Chains A and B, each alone.
Chain A
Amino acid sequence: MRLGRIVAKAVLAFAGFLAVFPLLWTALNSLKNSVDIITRVPRLVFTPTLANISYILGRDSVITGLYNSVIACGTAVLIGVVLGLPAAYAVARYPNRWAGDIQFFVLSLRFLPPVAVAIPLMVIWLQLGLYDTLPALIVTYSLLTISVIMWLAIPAFQSVPKEIEEAAFVDGYGAYAVFWRIALPVAARSLIGAVAFSFVLVWNEFLIALMLSSSNAKTLPIVASELSQQGMNVPWGILNASVVLLSLPPLLFLGVLSGFLNSVFRQKKT
């Protein structure tokens, strides 16, 4: 039994190591000169260089990609918040006989294979003259953000104690005031988690961005993947630096999202 526990702890520690080590190694490689990366025996001791990072940050394509990603994802998330949160509140608080169907419809949008959406949209945007523009990308991403935010916000609104809202009605608040002044602030913690999740989802999105952009509207994941299309001849340090840059924004939400997970499961317990 004691041996079993030791083995179990070792397995867990190894899994924890596996979870972060590849990423740390990439971060480390982004600080290396090629000589220190292309070695048969991995090198832990080396003279660090900032050349890769400054090269990446100095490239126009990377800066444009960063700008496109921020604008496209930020706007799509904003649209998702404005349209998704009120709809989720109405479904959660004013259930009617379509509530179940609405929830299923929102979830079923996730079943659609991304290629099946991207191919026709590419033809549509080409015909409208909007292909390879940010508005086209924003509209397409809004489908993702609205549906995900709605899906996650319905349970968040449901978990707000009904009594608080009823008390507000008794105090003479109207239905809209209750949404603004009571439901939104009380559910805020979970809602922020849902919104952060939708941001990570579109920031990480690749296939649709790849098909809907050719030069002007490329997002950061596309730019990063193109760096590698030039073969492994591109200095590895530069590629590693671009991977690090691409990965940082989602990791900023680590705290928010793990708090969101905790709050979801604490509600289940009670």
Chain B
Amino acid sequence: MPRRSSLPVTFVVPTLVILLILSMVPTLYAIIIALQNRELSSTAYSWVWFSNFVDLFSDRRFLNAVWVSVKWEVVTVVATMVVAIGLGVLMFEVAAPRLRNVYCLLFIIPVLLPRVSAAFVWKFAYHPLYGIATYPYRLLTGGLIFDPLSKPSTALFAVASVDVWQWGLFFAVIVLKLLETLPPQPIEAARLDHAKRWQIHAYVTLPMLKAPLVSLMFVKMIESLRSFDLIYVMTRGGPGVATETLDMYAFSQGFIESGKVSYASAMAVLMMIATVITFTMLWKRVQA
């Protein structure tokens, strides 16, 4: 590589400047709006400094949204990793190479779908009377009604199942590809020691893949923050506030119910601070 070339500067600097402008302007603006009392209905506003933030902490709907978001994050990340590792190992064990390719193609399809499409597909499937997913239940119980999306206890899991349908199957493909990159010797050695199949994976292959699996989990944690589309289409945060995550609540405060843009922005700023701090720390640990 030639040391003296203008290439790095001409290639990197314009792009970085544009990225910085495109990301910093909205970020700083979000903070400024959060310190004011703007509303959608009027252009007048004044500075109220931290009163939006103070209000948030006595807003029980906000605290509920925090709790729902945390539940969403934990449920989708854990379920995705369990499904991914389970199916990945199964494919590695019992599927012949040609069949593996078929499964890999099939398992990528759900994640490519727009979230809006996936949400619709399953909203129909979960329909209590005419849905295809509730049909087996109607058949077995002789026509009893099961409506997962409108029961507060099941709604979050029903929506989360769509997220896992998209990401768990996709990650199963990645887990399989990771298993395929492993050297065969340690597996052979364990087999000679009469280790059972599940023991080989629990004690040999999965520990060898710890680093990439942790990175995979990190990616899923970031992607799980994008739950809005699914929830907006499937439940709109309902029944009641059972599936109202932070972005759903911020959206409805800012645009549907009251048009309190500043209040919504204060929520968004808190989310931003929490995620940037959490993920920066996690990233440093993953890299270390």
Q: Which residue of A lies closest to B7 (CB)?
A: A175
**Which of B23, B106, B173 contacts A261 (CB under 8 A)?**
B173
Residues of chain B within 8 A (CB-CB) of A22 are: 121-122, 125, 132-133, 165
Stretch of B54-62, B74-82, B267-275 that contacts chain A = B267-275
B25 lies within 8 A of A9 (CB): no
Verify if B203 is at the interface (C-beta below 8 Å from A): no
B-side interface residues, number (CB < 8 Å): 95
B19 lies within 8 A of A106 (CB): yes
Residues of chain A within 8 A (CB-CB) of B108 are: 254, 257-258, 261
B107 lies within 8 A of A111 (CB): no
Residues of chain A within 8 A (CB-CB) of B117 are: 224, 243, 246-247
0 or 1 for each of A102-116: is its CB under 8 Å from B? (1 = yes): 101111111111111
B247 lies within 8 A of A207 (CB): yes
A25 lies within 8 A of B125 (CB): yes
A224 to B118, CA, bound (A): 12
A1 to B7, CA, bound (A): 60
* Interface SS of A by simple majority: helix
A179 to B4, CA, bound (A): 15
A146 to B169, CA, bound (A): 27
Q: Which residue of A lies closest to B247 (CB)?
A: A115
Q: A8-B93, A258-B108 are in contact. Are A84 and B15 (CB under 8 A)?
A: yes
A232 to B283, CA, bound (A): 44
Q: How many A-B residue pairs have CB under 8 A?
A: 273
A225 lies within 8 A of B232 (CB): yes
Q: Which residues B55-100 have CB closer than 8 A to chain A?
A: 87, 90-91, 93-95
Verify if B181 is at the interface (C-beta below 8 Å from A): yes
Residues of chain A within 8 A (CB-CB) of B123 are: 228
B94 lies within 8 A of A206 (CB): no
Q: Which residues A129-168 have CB closer than 8 A to chain B?
A: 139-140, 142-143, 146-147, 150, 162, 165-166
A228 to B87, CA, bound (A): 34
A37 to B129, CA, bound (A): 11
**Which of B18, B129, B264 contacts A146 (CB under 8 A)?**
B18
A44 to chain B, nearest CB (A): 11
Q: Which residues A44-84 have CB closer than 8 A to chain B?
A: 83-84
B267 to chain A, nearest CB (A): 8
A259 to chain B, nearest CB (A): 11
A269 to B280, CA, bound (A): 29
B129 lies within 8 A of A87 (CB): no
**Which of B7, B32, B178, B267 contacts A94 (CB under 8 A)?**
B7
A112 lies within 8 A of B109 (CB): no
Residues of chain A within 8 A (CB-CB) of B127 are: 232
Verify if A231 is at the interface (C-beta below 8 Å from B): no
A106 to B129, CA, bound (A): 47
Residues of chain A within 8 A (CB-CB) of B138 are: 40
A123 to B259, CA, bound (A): 12
Q: A116-B30, A251-B109 are in contact. Are A8 and B229 (CB under 8 A)?
A: no
B106 lies within 8 A of A19 (CB): yes
Verify if A23 is at the interface (C-beta below 8 Å from B): yes
Q: Which residue of A lies closest to B275 (CB)?
A: A111
A42 lies within 8 A of B125 (CB): no
0 or 1 for each of A218-258: is its CB under 8 Å from B? (1 = yes): 00010011001000100010011001001100110110011
> What are the 3 tightest A-B residue pairs by CB atom distance, in nearest-first order?
A120-B29, A87-B15, A116-B268
> Interface residues, chain A, CB within 8 Å of chain B?
4-5, 8-9, 11-12, 15-16, 18-20, 22-23, 25-26, 29, 37-42, 83-84, 86-87, 89-91, 93-94, 96, 102, 104-117, 119-124, 139-140, 142-143, 146-147, 150, 162, 165-166, 169, 174-176, 179, 200, 203-204, 206-207, 210-211, 221, 224-225, 228, 232, 236, 239-240, 243, 246-247, 250-251, 253-254, 257-258, 261-262, 265, 268-269
What would 17 more interface pairs be, CB under 8 Å, given A146-B15, A174-B5, A262-B177? Answer: A15-B169, A20-B109, A23-B110, A23-B113, A39-B130, A41-B135, A87-B16, A102-B16, A113-B272, A114-B228, A117-B30, A179-B11, A206-B232, A243-B117, A250-B112, A261-B104, A269-B181
